[in-house]
Amino acid sequence: MNYTSIECASSTSEQFVPMSPAKTLKVYWLETKFEWLKTIRNPAFALPAILFPVIFYLFFGVLMNHGNVQAASYLLSTYGTFGVMGPALFSFGAALAVERGKGWLDIKEASPMPASAQIISRLIVSMIFSLLIIISLGIIGVFFGGVELSVFQGALLSVILVFGGLPFCLLGLALGMMLKAESAPAIVNVIYLPMAFLSGLWIPITMLPNFLQTFANFLPPYHLSQLALKVMQQDVGDSVFTHLLALTLFAVIFFVFALVAHKRKQN
Amino acid sequence: MQQVNSVKHSDASQVVASIQGLNKSFSNKQALCDVELQIKSNQVLAILGSNGAGKTTLINTLLGRLKIDSGEISIFSSQPGSLAVKQQTGAMLQVASLPETLKIREHIQLFQSYYPNPMDYQKVIAYAGLESLQERFSKKLSGGEKQRLLFALSICGNPKLLFLDEPSVGMDLSARQSLWKAIRDLKNQGTAIVLTTHYLEEADSLADEIVLLKQGAIIQRGTNEQIKACVSSTTIRFTTPSYPIDFNSVAYLISHDVSGKYTAIQTNELNQTLISLLTKYPELEDLSVSRAGLEEAFLELNKDQLAQSKTGKSVINKGEAA
C-alpha cells in the first residue's frame, strides 16, 4: 500500500493561496446580501418581525391612549426595544437552529468560509431590520401620537436601540447553537414574549408589582429599554453606566454559552 | 503555475491524505477503531458499510469537524480542518434541506466566493447538470435536484480532494448516470475522491479501491475484483419447480434459498453441483449461473460470526485478523 511516497503530497499544499483582502471583503458582502435576500423573501419572518411592533405600537401607543403624549413617547422606547429583540432572536436563534438542524451549517463549516462571515452577515441584517422598525415606530409616534422628538433625540434613540440589539443577537446565537430545529421557533417565542412583558415593554415597569420590578433587573430588555427611555427622561433613574454594565455582562454570558455549545458539538 | 505542473503529472496518483491508527468513540461506543487509510489523487475510494458502521463519522473526522481520540490524520501535509486544507477540499454531506429562499445561482455564487480560485460558474453548472434550474429557489427542488445542487457546491472550489457522502440518494437513473460521469471526469483530472454509498452498483462502477467498514473497523479492502473474490461461491438460480427438491442430496451445496418464484443455491464446486442437480432434476427451467457480485460479497463479509458458524462457512476476514 505504501508504494507512493508521502513527500509527493507536500507539493500539493504549496497551492494554498491566501485570500486577497478584496476577495475576503467580497465573501462578507455576498454573505450579507444573500442573508438579506433570504430573510426578506421569507414573509413568515419578515412580516411579523416588522408588523408586530408597529401594530402593537399603533394600537396601544396611539389609538388606545387618547392623545396621551407621555404614554406615546414612553411606548416608543419600549416597543422600539421589543422590535429590536425580534429580528435578533429569530434570525439568529430560530433561523440558525433550523439551518443547523437540517445539516446546512455542516456544509458551510466544511467550506473555507470564515466563521465570522456567517455571524456578521446575520448581525448586519438584523440591524437593518431593527432600523426599519425604529423608523416605522418613530413616524407613527411623531405624526400620529404627537410625540415631540428632536432630530438629535431620534438619532440617539436609533443608535441606542440598534446597537442595543447586540446582546439579543448573542442570546439568539446561543439559542441557535443549542436548540433543536423543530422546537426552536416555539422556544424562542416562549423566551421573547414573557421577557418583553416582564421588562416593562408593554406595560410601564412602574405599574408592575414591586417584586417584578426588582426581578426586571435580571432581564436584558429592561436595561435596554431604560437606556432608550433616558433619551426623553422617562426612565426609572438608574445610571447609564449600570445599564451598560448589565447589557455588557449579559452579552458576555450569552457569547460564552454560544461558544460552549459550539465546542460541545465537536466531541 | 504550480497547477499547470500538477495537471501534467496527474496520471500518477499521489497520496493526498493518510490516516494512521485512527480511533474515535462517542461516550462509550467505539465509532472508529484503528482505521488506516490512504487517499490518493486520480482515484475514487469507496467506503462501504451498513448504517452505523462509521462512514459518516470517518468523513467528519477527515473534515476536522470531530476531534479524534488517537491516531494521526494528515491531509495535504496539514491538519484536517485547517484553512489550507479546506480551500482544497470539497464536501458533499447529507443535508435535509438548504435555505429555501435562495436560488441555485445564488447558492453557487456564494460558495464560489469562499475560494481563492473557484471553478468557473458555467463549468460547475454543467458538471452538476443544473443548466435549466439556475433561477429556481431551493425550496422547489426535488430530492435529486437538491443532491445535484449540493454536488455543485462541493466542487465550487476546484477541490483536489472531494468527499461525497451518499451523493446519489434520491436521484433518478439519468441524473445518477450524469453524476457518475462528472465524478469520473473529476477523477481523471486528478481529484482524489472519497465516496460513501449504499448503492453497491455505484461503488462497483466508480471505485478504484473499496474499503469495507464494520462497527468502525476496516474488515476488508481492495479493488472491486478483490472484494468480489473474497466470496468464492457461485449462485445457481432456477424457477422453483412444482415438486419439492431434496437439497441434501445435491453435491457441494453451501446454502439454498427458496424465495417465491425463484430458487437460488450457492456452491463452491459449480460443475459437481450442476451435474448432481441436473441428474436428479433434469426438467429445471430458467437455469442461470452467476458469480458473486459486490452485493453478495458485501452481505457475506458483513455477516456476524454467529451467522457464519450457522452456515458452516468460513469467511476470510483479513482485516479483523490483523
Place of cell 411623531: A142
CB–CB of A106 and B93 under 8 A? yes
Using 50, 70 and 90 to split pLDDT, how confident is the model at A181? confident
Q: Which residue has the higher pLDDT, B232 or A242?
A: A242
Question: Burial level of A115, CB count in 10 A (0-12/13-18/19+)?
Answer: exposed
Q: Which of B146, B16, B143 is nearest to B85 (CA)?
A: B16
Q: Give me the number of domains chain A comprises.
A: 1
List, in order, residues 6 or more apart from B115 with CB less than 8 Å away.
A112, B87, B156, B157, B158
Interior angle at CA A43, CA A37 and CA A44, nearest 5: 125
> What would the pLDDT profile of B35-82 be if each residue is shown by its tens digit?
999 999 999 999 988 888 889 899 999 999 888 899 999 999 999 989
CB–CB of B88 and A15 under 8 A? yes
Provide the β-strand partners of residue B37. B19
Q: How many CB atoms lie within 10 A of CB A191?
A: 16
Q: Are B44 and B183 in contact (CB under 8 A)?
A: yes
pLDDT above 70: residue A84: yes
Amino acid at B250: V
CA distances from B160 to A20, B42, B119 (A): 21, 9, 12
Using 50, 70 and 90 to split pLDDT, how confident is the model at A121? very high
B192 CA: distance to closest CA in chain A (Å): 12
Mean pLDDT of A188-215: 90
Per-residue pLDDT, B315? 39
3-class DSSP state of B19 = strand
Per-residue pLDDT, B3? 42
Q: Is residue A134 part of a domain?
A: yes
Q: Is residue A102 part of a domain?
A: yes
pLDDT above 90: residue B304: no
B202 CA: distance to closest CA in chain A (Å): 23
- Tell me the average pLDDT of chain A: 87
Using 50, 70 and 90 to split pLDDT, how confident is the model at B219? confident
Q: Is residue A5 part of a domain?
A: no
Mean pLDDT of B254-276: 84
Q: Give the CB-side neighbour count of residue A236, counting CA atoms within 13 A.
A: 20
**Could you tell me the residue range of the domain that residue A95 belongs to?**
21-265
Q: Which residue has the higher pLDDT, B127 or A46?
A: B127
pLDDT above 50: residue B316: no
**Nearest residue of A to residue B190 by CA position?**
A12
Using 50, 70 and 90 to split pLDDT, how confident is the model at A12? very low
> What would the pLDDT profile of B143-194 be if each residue is shown by its tens digit?
899 999 999 999 999 999 999 999 988 888 889 999 999 999 999 999 999 9
Count how many pairs of residues, chain A against chain B, have C-beta atoms within 8 Å.
Answer: 127
Q: Select from A1, A16, A27 the Cβ nearest to the Cβ of B84.
A: A16
Mean pLDDT of A38-67: 85
Per-residue pLDDT, A10? 41
Using 50, 70 and 90 to split pLDDT, how confident is the model at B121? very high
Q: Which domains does chain B have, with CATH numbers?
A: 2-228 (3.40.50.300), 231-321 (3.30.70)
Using 50, 70 and 90 to split pLDDT, how confident is the model at A16? low
Place of cell 433570504: A38
**CA separation for the pair B158, B69 (Å, rounded):** 31
pLDDT above 90: residue B321: no
Most confidently predicted of A41-55, A246-260, B293-307 = A246-260
Which value, to the nearest 10 degrees, does the dihedral of the CA atoms of residues A94, A97, A99, A102 take?
Answer: -130
Q: Is residue A154 part of a domain?
A: yes
pLDDT above 80: residue B240: yes
Place of cell 417565542: A189
Q: Is residue A16 part of a domain?
A: no
User: Judged by CB atoms within 8 Å, which residues 123-162 of B form the interface with A?
Assistant: 150, 153, 157, 160
- Tell me the average pLDDT of chain B: 84
**CA separation for the pair B232, B69 (Å, rounded):** 38
Q: Does B264 touch chain A (CB under 8 A)?
A: no
Question: Which residues in chain B have Cβ-Cβ distances shorter than 8 Å to A112?
Answer: 83, 86-87, 114-115, 157
Q: Does B214 touch chain A (CB under 8 A)?
A: no
Q: How many CB atoms lie within 10 A of CB B7?
A: 11
pLDDT above 90: residue A31: yes
ipTM: 0.85
Per-residue pLDDT, A9? 42
Per-residue pLDDT, A2? 39
